[in-house]
Copies of this chain bind each other. A is one copy, B any other.
Amino acid sequence: MSKNTFNIRTDLALEACELLKTEEEIKLDGIKSSTKTKNGIEITYVEIFNETGSKATGKPIGKYITVETPKIRGNDPQVKENVIKETADTLSKLIKPNKYKNILIAGLGNRYITPDSLGPKVVAKILVTRHIKDTLPETIDENVASVAAIAPGVMGITGIETGEILSGIIEKINPDLLIAIDALAARKFSRINSVIQMSDSGISPGSGVGNKRMTLDKETLGIPVIAIGVPTVVDAATLVNDTMDRILAEMAAASKDKSFYEMLDSIEGEERYTLINDLLTPYAENMFVTPKEVDAVIERLADIISNAINIAIHPALNPGDINRYV
């Protein structure tokens, strides 16, 4: 097993592919990837279309689209509007609007831990219509989807698997699509709070701050699942490991006799990651690395994602209508 196919500490397909590239496995069968830039926003399409690609990246087969700009972290209203637009467009393509008539939105994560609270915060801003569809004016009713939304909480607080809660609700209200929002973990600092990943391959709650749980996808829930995620943390072991890579490179560059550092560098990545992780445990087991301004950024991201969802799932409403209803 290649070290790259094992234990890649990222929820972003984008980063999983980058790791492959650095290992010159770039032309691997089973993965397609392309990037374009629009209004200063980088949009990356990754498609994993067979088991080979899935194994190499550690990600399920499916489409992964990221909308990325470090400017999301700032407070520029124009950037915000552009990101909402790109995110809504991407979602629309994944959702194929007007095909799904009954949509359930699930905001995963722990609302009491700021970097994990993105999902619940998005849910609070969704334009739900399931309970008022009968009362909407006929002229717009036709094209408005029936939308419900739930923040199921995390297993540490509920004692119940997120998948069990959602599956119970799905059996009651019979949606034909689930859109799940969750905080993710990234490998690179520079991606924290600056990437929105959307995919049609399902989601494993708690990949970011929490622990891996039962995957939510068509197989487990019986309906298609669109996942939306933003990396909000980097785990402590990843931080140390990546910094060590850079340190060794710097040291080797500065040293006459490079053999020492080359040898050190030659230690298998996975072996080193495990060593670091063991050393940091138990001290750092429950630690995460997050930016100071996390509270404000999570609020803004919740605004962006909820707006994009509202636009994508209610194509008959314009943004002004939506704001009037929420």
Which residues of A are at the interface with B, using a C-beta cutoff of 8 A?
74-78, 112-114, 116, 123-124, 128-132, 146-153, 155-161, 164-165, 167-173, 188-190, 192, 209, 234, 236, 239-240, 243-244, 246-247, 250-251, 260, 263-264, 267, 272, 275-276, 279-280, 283-284, 286-296, 319-320, 323-324, 326
Contact = CB atoms under 8 A, between A and B. Distances in A.
A288 B279 CA distance: 19
Contact of A129 (B129, B148, B159, B263): B159
A233 to B, nearest CB: 9
Given A164-B172, A189-B284, A76 B320 contact: yes
A185 B164 CA distance: 33
A236 B150 contact: no
A153 B151 contact: yes
Count of this chain's copies in the oligomeric assembly: 4
A291 B280 CA distance: 13
Contacts of A131: 155-156, 159-161
A43 to B, nearest CB: 23
Nearest 7 CB-CB pairs, A to B?
A168-B168, A128-B159, A130-B159, A189-B283, A148-B159, A168-B172, A168-B169
B240 A295 contact: no
A264 to B, nearest CB: 7
Contact of A189 (B74, B158, B287): B287
A173 B130 CA distance: 25
Contacts of A239: 236, 239-240, 284, 289
